[in-house]
């Protein structure tokens, strides 16, 4: 494995409120290698989008990075000034948002938006930038890019608009793209096209993707490795194949089996009781223990360490070999 392009160590994101500090992301660590797709999966409120926003420096105040470090290409980026961060954001790390309608300016032709982005990051003449914009649109699969470049966002369908957003993200030749629910607003048939496109770009450009989604199906199709988040903490990190076929953490296995199967005939779905705790009421010990069917006494008291199980990293006391068994 090559050196990681992005390395996140013990990242903490906090929100100070009138009733005290809420910890939305709590000591998360992971690496992304160059050219790799890391899936970040979790239910709503698990902290996956905040992790993405923290990496690219787009946390909305009062949210703040309160601890840990983010190392991108050998350089710490979590303590950069806004000015320094600009040289990284867009050109080295780009972002794709969930809703293509809100990430494009409706008043400008898509060509203008693309050319502006290209000129911000790359030193070239406006006519070269236009040529580049056309080739980017072609690369993301927009038919007749020479004419479509002068269209407005509303003249595109949802899937085509998301392709334009991807072209915008590629404009600065980034090494890492953070894609936050890139297919959630799309229909399945269009989702399949966008997944294909992301995989192709990753392959052709050697670009790393951090794919944030709640949909295990999208992860299984796209990601090389997966990090499962629960209540702002990592429950399990491993290769996608291992995680899909052989989930270790009780939350991951519960999550996997609660998804209705396309070919199974089971009458009842396996269900995890309860729902994810609110940030104001994260339980002591392991955050998952009130919903866990296999919880031990120490799960109520001590936050689990991470253990290595079959190449996966699992934060669960069940895998503590040194624990006294009785």
Partner 1 sequence: MTDAMVQVDSLTRLFDVSKPWLNRVIEREDRRFLRAVDDVSFDIRRGETFALVGESGSGKSTVAKMVVGLLQPTKGDIRIDGVNLADPAQSESMRAMRRRIQMIFQDPFASLNPRWRVDRIISEPIQAFGLESDDRAISKRVAELLTLVGMSGDDGRKFPHEFSGGQRQRICIARALASRPDFIVCDEPTSALDVSVQAQILNLMRDLQQEFGLTYLFISHDLSVVRHMASRIGVMYLGRIVEVAESKALFKQPSHPYTRMLFDAVPDLKMSGRPHQSVEGEIPNPISPPSGCTFHPRCPHVNERCRTEIPEAIASGDVIVACHAHQEGRIGKKL
Q: How far is the CB of 316 from partner 1 (least distance, A)?
A: 17
Report CA dihedral (234, 166, 151, 193) to the nearest 10 degrees: -90
Name which of 6 and 219 has its Cβ closer to partner 1. 219
Q: Are 31 and 7 in contact (CB under 8 A)?
A: yes
> Between residues 140 and 276, which has the closer beta carbon with respect to partner 1?
276
Q: Which span sits near partner 1 by CB under 8 A: 24-32, 70-78, 157-165, 309-317?
A: 157-165
Measured distance CA(53)–CA(51) in Å, rounded: 5
Binding mask 55-94 for partner 1 (x = CB under 8 A): ----------------------------------------
Select the span of 85-93, 172-180, 182-190, 298-306 touching partner 1 (CB under 8 A).
182-190
Question: Segment 198-217, which members bind partner 1 (CB under 8 A)?
Answer: 214-217
Question: Nearest distance from residue 178's CB to partner 1, in Å?
Answer: 20
Q: Which is nearer to partner 1, 76 or 245 (CB)?
A: 245
Contact 181, 210 (CB under 8 A): no
Beginning with the edge strand found earlier in the chain, give each strand of the sheet holding 225-230 in spatial order.
Answer: 93-96, 176-180, 208-213, 37-41, 225-230, 233-239, 312-315, 306-309
Query: What are the tokens at 82?
Result: 């806004």
Using the contact rule CB under 8 A, the part of the chain among 59-67, 84-92, 100-108, 181-189 near partner 1 is 181-189
Residue selected from 146, 150, 173, 187 as contacting partner 1 according to rule CB under 8 A: 187
Q: How far is the CB of 188 from partner 1 (least distance, A)?
A: 5
What are the counts of helices (DSSP H) followed by strands (DSSP E) for the chain? 10, 12
**Encoding tokens for residue 14?**
């906090």
With respect to partner 1, which residue has the nearer C-beta, 76 or 241?
Answer: 241
**CA separation for the pair 30, 250 (Å, rounded):** 20
Spatial distance between the Cα atoms of 226 and 161, rounded to a whole number of angstroms: 27
Q: Long-range pairs for 47-51 at CB < 8 Å and ≥24 separation?
A: 47/13, 47/229, 47/231, 47/232, 47/233, 48/212, 48/214, 48/229, 49/180, 49/181, 49/212, 50/13, 50/24, 50/25, 51/8, 51/11, 51/13, 51/25, 51/212, 51/229
According to CB under 8 A, which residues from 26 to 55 bind partner 1?
A: 43-44
C-beta of 3 vs 269, nearer to partner 1? 269
What tokens appear for 270 in the block? 């396996």
CB of 3 or CB of 270, closer to partner 1:
270
How many residues comprise the chain?
326
Please report how close the Cβ of residue 61 comes to partner 1 at its closest, in angstroms: 25
Cα separation, 255 vs 220, whole angstroms: 14
Q: Least distance in Å: CB of 157 to partner 1?
A: 5
Residues numbered 217 to 276 that lie near partner 1 (CB under 8 A) are 217-218, 220-221, 240-241, 244-245, 254-255, 258-263, 265-273, 275-276
Return the number of the residue (268 or 325) whose C-beta is nearest partner 1.
Answer: 268
The rounded distance, in Å, linking the Cα atoms of 307 and 8 is 18
Q: Number of residues interacting with partner 1: please give it, by CB under 8 A.
A: 45
Given 84, 157, 308, 310, the residue binding partner 1 (CB under 8 A): 157
Is 81 or 271 the residue whose CB approaches partner 1 more closely? 271
Q: How far is the CB of 119 from partner 1 (least distance, A)?
A: 31
Q: Which is nearer to partner 1, 58 or 244 (CB)?
A: 244
Residues that bind partner 1 (CB under 8 A): 43-44, 157-160, 187-193, 195-196, 214-218, 220-221, 240-241, 244-245, 254-255, 258-263, 265-273, 275-276
């Amino acid at each position: 494995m090559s050196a990681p392009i992005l390395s996140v160590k013990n990242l903490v994101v906090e929100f100070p409120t009138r009733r005290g500090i809420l910890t939305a992301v709590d000591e998360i660590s992971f690496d992304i290698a160059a050219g790799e797709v890391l899936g970040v999966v979790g239910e709503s409120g698990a902290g996956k989008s905040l992790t993405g926003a923290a990496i690219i420096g787009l946390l909305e105040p009062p949210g703040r990075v309160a601890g840990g470090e983010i190392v991108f290409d050998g350089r710490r980026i979590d303590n950069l000034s806004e000015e320094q961060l600009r040289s990284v954001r867009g050109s080295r790390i780009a972002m794709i948002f969930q809703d293509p309608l809100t990430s494009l300016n409706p008043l400008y032709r898509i060509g203008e938006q693309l050319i502006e982005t290209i000129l911000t990051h790359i030193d070239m003449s406006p006519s070269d930038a236009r040529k580049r914009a056309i080739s980017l649109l072609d690369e993301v699969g927009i038919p007749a890019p020479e004419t479509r470049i002068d269209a407005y966002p509303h003249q595109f369908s949802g899937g085509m608009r998301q392709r334009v957003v991807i072209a915008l993200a590629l404009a600065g030749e980034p090494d890492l793209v953070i894609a936050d629910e890139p297919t959630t607003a799309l229909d399945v048939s269009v989702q399949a096209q966008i997944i294909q496109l992301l995989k192709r770009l990753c392959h052709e450009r050697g670009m790393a993707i951090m794919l944030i989604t709640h949909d295990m199906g999208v992860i299984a199709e796209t990601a090389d490795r997966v990090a499962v988040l629960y209540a702002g903490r990592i429950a399990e990190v491993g290769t996608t194949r291992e995680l899909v076929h052989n989930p270790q953490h009780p939350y991951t296995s519960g999550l996997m089996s609660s998804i209705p199967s396309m070919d199974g005939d089971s009458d009842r779905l396996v269900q995890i009781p309860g729902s994810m705790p609110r940030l104001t009421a994260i339980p002591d010990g392991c955050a998952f223990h009130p919903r866990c069917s296999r919880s031990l006494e120490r799960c109520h008291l001590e936050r689990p360490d991470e253990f290595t199980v079959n190449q996966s990293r699992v934060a669960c006391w069940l895998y503590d070999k040194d624990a006294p068994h009785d």
